Every structure is written in structure tokens, then in C-alpha cells.
């Protein structure tokens, strides 16, 4: 099984649109939405959830009002202002609590207890393209890299069990922890960039990251006709640095029209020039 991650140096380059187009072309594959902070692959893939799992990470604390002697120590020691005083009672604000455990240790009467933190859920679903592993992170939760680990390892297990050929990952933007979790162990990174100065800058940072992790990189320029000079510059940069250049996709409204009908561009406009370009790119990816 080969792992292919579609990532980008910045958000809004068209990763999910292109991932869904690949999903329409791939065979014997499974998909993982690892852009857990802004997951949206499900909009096009229309998954039917088969199984769901609680994603618990870290523990928070809760004050037992019957045991509390209102000494206010917890209120004073919490550096995150997570303990609230309402009249004479103390409460922990769930969204602010980091689970550092200091208040529980400081409480003189052990009135504070640890509670499991349900940070989100992840799902295994059926789609018309194959199975999709996706997730929902709760508001204010900050363990997205751990959730990505869970999503990916579930997708890998299913792929190995079912002897699938590919795990296709819709990855996050940027070069932070979420991207590092996503690229861990992959066989090929497909970087989606646009024809703008900032995209080129971010592309270079992403390529640096992939280099330090020894991961094979390839590049697609989406909306390539916005600035032909930058497009040329990116192509030359890839050539000079031995990076596989997969192709250029011009701006095409069919991506958006297809999305409105929850379809990939391959499904919405199968005979368009853009769909032909994407088919050629997918063939190159399989060869890589
Ligand atoms: S430290 Fe313990 S006893 Fe004191 S206010 Fe907090 S919960 Fe109540
Ligand atoms: S566990 Fe830490 S962050 Fe949470 S309320 Fe106690 S001291 Fe504050």
C-alpha cells in the first residue's frame, strides 16, 4: 500500500478539490481527511458513517461542590484563569483548562477530580469512491496532530487488511505539527501551489520540510493562469531542484459548480480540458 498526501504551503490552494478529483480516478484505494482543523472532504465525498469512535486526549478537572470548602486556592494558582468564582462557588471552565493538574494537587481537601476530555470523534464511512476516515474536532480543542495520528493509523490498518493499493490523504496547509503528523511515513507528497509570490514562498518552505523528512515531493500549480510569470518561476525552480513537476491546472469554475452539487470536477465535467489535465497528473502520480 502506498501513502500519497496532498498538502500545501498555505490554505486555499485547492487541495480538497484536487483530492476529490483523484478519488474519482483512483481504484482500490482508501481516503483519509487529515485536515482535521478544517475538514471538508466529506462535502464532496458524501460519506455514510459506518462506525464512530470517541477521540479522547488529555484530562481536565472538575470541582466537587460537596467537598469544596471555598478556600479559593485553586482560583489563585491557576495560571490559565480557568477557575471561575460565581458568588462563593468555584467552577472550572472547560475550554480554558489545560489539564495541568496544579489545582488538584493544591486543593487541601481533594475536592478536585480528573475527568476524561472528549476532544472529538472520528468516523469510518463508505463513499462512492471507497472508504473514508474522517473526523470532527470539538470547538476549542487543540490536539489536532494526535487526531491525525488516529485517523491515519485507522486508514492504514483498513488498507492493509483489505489489501488496498493506495491511501490518499487530504492533508492540512502549512508546515506545522499537523503537516508533520500527516507526512509521517508517506511515500509521496503532492504539493498544491498557486501562481502567486506568497505561494512560491510557502512552497519552498514545504519542500524544505519534506527534504528534512526525506520524503519524495511533487508539485502541481493550481490556478496556474493567474500569474504566468510566477508559474514559469515555479516550474523552473522544480526543474533546477530535481522536484517532480506534475502539471498546471488553470482556473476552472467547474470546480465550484461541481462542489455545489457535491461532485468532483471529474464527475461534474468529465470531458473538460481540466479533467483531462487531472487524469494525466494522476497517471504521473501512479508512476512516481
Ligand atoms: S482548592 Fe479545593 S477547596 Fe479550595 S476552592 Fe478550590 S476546590 Fe474548593
Ligand atoms: S488543571 Fe490547570 S488549567 Fe485546569 S483549572 Fe486546574 S490549574 Fe487551571
Looking at the structure, tell me whether residues 47 and 148 fall in a common domain: yes
Looking at the structure, tell me whether residues 224 and 273 fall in a common domain: yes
β-sheet with 188-194: strand ranges across: 48-63, 112-127, 130-137, 29-33, 166-173, 2-8, 188-194, 217-222, 244-249
Looking at the structure, tell me whether residues 20 and 96 fall in a common domain: no
Looking at the structure, tell me whether residues 197 and 102 fall in a common domain: no
- Mutate which of 109, 113, 114 for ligand 1 pocket (most atoms within 8 A of beta carbon): 109
The per-residue pLDDT for range 251-264, each reduced to its tens digit, is 999 999 999 999 99
| CB-based contact 72:85 (threshold 8 Å) | yes
Looking at the structure, tell me whether residues 152 and 14 fall in a common domain: yes
Tell me, yes or no, whether 60 lies in a domain: no
The end-to-end CA distance of the chain, in Å, is 14
Based on the number of CB atoms within 10 Å of its own CB, is 261 exposed (0-12), middle (13-18) or buried (19 or more)? Answer: exposed
The per-residue pLDDT for range 74-133, each reduced to its tens digit, is 999 999 999 999 988 999 998 899 999 999 999 999 999 999 988 899 999 999 999 999
Looking at the structure, tell me whether residues 72 and 190 fall in a common domain: no
Q: Is the CB of 63 under 6 A from ligand 2?
A: no
Tell me, yes or no, whether 116 lies in a domain: no
Phi, then psi, of 258 in degrees rounded to 5? -65, -40
Nearest to 206 by CA among 15, 35, 8, 16: 8
The per-residue pLDDT for range 51-74, each reduced to its tens digit, is 999 998 888 999 999 999 999 999
Looking at the structure, tell me whether residues 212 and 75 fall in a common domain: no
CA atoms of 200 and 198, how far apart (whole Å): 5
List the domain range (segments joined by +) for residue 277. Answer: 2-55+121-287
Looking at the structure, tell me whether residues 92 and 71 fall in a common domain: yes
Q: Is the CB of 73 under 6 A from ligand 2?
A: no
- Ligand 1 atom nearest to 106, measured from its CA: 1
Tell me, yes or no, whether 203 lies in a domain: yes
Looking at the structure, tell me whether residues 191 and 282 fall in a common domain: yes
The per-residue pLDDT for range 133-184, each reduced to its tens digit, is 999 998 878 778 999 999 999 999 999 999 999 999 999 999 999 999 999 9
Tell me, yes or no, whether 115 lies in a domain: no
Tell me, yes or no, whether 273 lies in a domain: yes
Tell me, yes or no, whether 130 lies in a domain: yes
CATH of the domain at 256: 3.40.50.300
Task: State the pLDDT at residue 232.
Answer: 96
Tell me, yes or no, whether 188 lies in a domain: yes
Nearest to 264 by CA among 15, 24, 7, 47: 24
CATH of the domain at 81: 3.30.70.20
**Chain centroid offset of residue 75 CA:** 36
pTM of the predicted protein model: 0.88
Q: Is the CB of 84 under 6 A from ligand 2?
A: no
Looking at the structure, tell me whether residues 73 and 37 fall in a common domain: no
Looking at the structure, tell me whether residues 211 and 128 fall in a common domain: yes
- Give the number of other Cβ atoms within 10 Å of residue 130's Cβ: 20
CA atoms of 161 and 176, how far apart (whole Å): 31
Domain count, the chain: 2
Residue ranges in 48-176 assigned as alpha helix (H): 73-77, 102-106, 144-161
Looking at the structure, tell me whether residues 69 and 190 fall in a common domain: no
Three-class secondary structure of residue 77 per DSSP = helix
CA atoms of 264 and 131, how far apart (whole Å): 16
Amino acid at each position: 500500500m502506498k501513502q500519497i498526501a496532498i498538502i500545501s504551503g498555505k490554505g486555499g490552494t485547492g487541495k480538497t478539490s484536487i483530492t476529490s478529483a483523484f478519488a474519482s480516478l483512483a481504484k482500490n484505494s482508501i481516503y483519509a481527511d487529515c485536515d482535521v482543523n478544517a475538514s471538508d472532504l466529506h462535502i464532496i465525498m458524501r460519506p455514510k458513517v459506518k462506525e464512530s469512535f470517541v477521540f479522547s486526549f488529555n484530562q481536565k478537572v472538575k470541582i466537587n461542590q460537596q467537598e469544596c470548602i471555598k478556600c479559593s486556592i485553586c482560583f489563585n494558582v491557576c495560571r490559565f484563569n480557568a477557575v471561575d468564582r460565581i458568588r462563593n462557588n468555584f467552577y472550572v471552565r472547560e475550554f480554558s483548562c489545560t489539564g495541568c493538574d496544579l489545582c488538584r494537587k493544591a486543593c487541601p481537601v481533594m475536592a478536585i477530580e480528573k475527568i476524561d476530555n472528549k476532544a472529538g470523534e472520528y468516523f469510518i464511512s463508505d463513499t462512492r469512491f471507497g472508504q473514508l476516515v474522517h473526523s470532527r474536532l470539538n470547538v476549542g480543542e487543540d490536539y489536532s496532530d494526535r487526531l491525525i495520528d488516529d485517523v491515519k493509523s485507522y486508514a492504514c490498518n483498513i488498507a492493509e487488511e483489505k489489501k488496498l493499493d493506495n491511501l490518499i490523504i487530504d492533508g492540512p496547509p502549512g508546515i506545522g505539527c499537523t503537516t508533520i503528523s500527516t507526512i509521517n511515513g508517506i511515500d509521496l507528497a503532492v504539493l498544491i501551489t498557486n501562481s502567486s509570490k506568497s505561494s512560491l514562498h510557502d512552497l519552498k518552505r514545504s519542500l524544505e520540510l519534506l527534504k528534512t523528512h526525506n520524503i519524495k515531493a511533487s508539485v502541481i500549480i493550481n490556478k496556474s493562469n493567474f500569474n504566468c510569470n510566477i508559474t514559469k518561476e515555479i516550474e523552473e525552480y522544480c526543474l533546477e531542484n530535481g522536484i517532480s513537476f506534475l502539471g498546471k491546472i488553470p482556473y476552472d469554475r467547474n470546480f465550484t459548480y461541481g462542489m455545489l452539487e457535491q461532485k468532483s470536477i471529474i464527475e461534474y465535467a468529465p470531458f473538460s480540458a481540466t479533467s483531462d489535465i487531472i487524469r494525466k497528473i494522476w497517471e504521473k502520480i501512479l508512476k512516481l
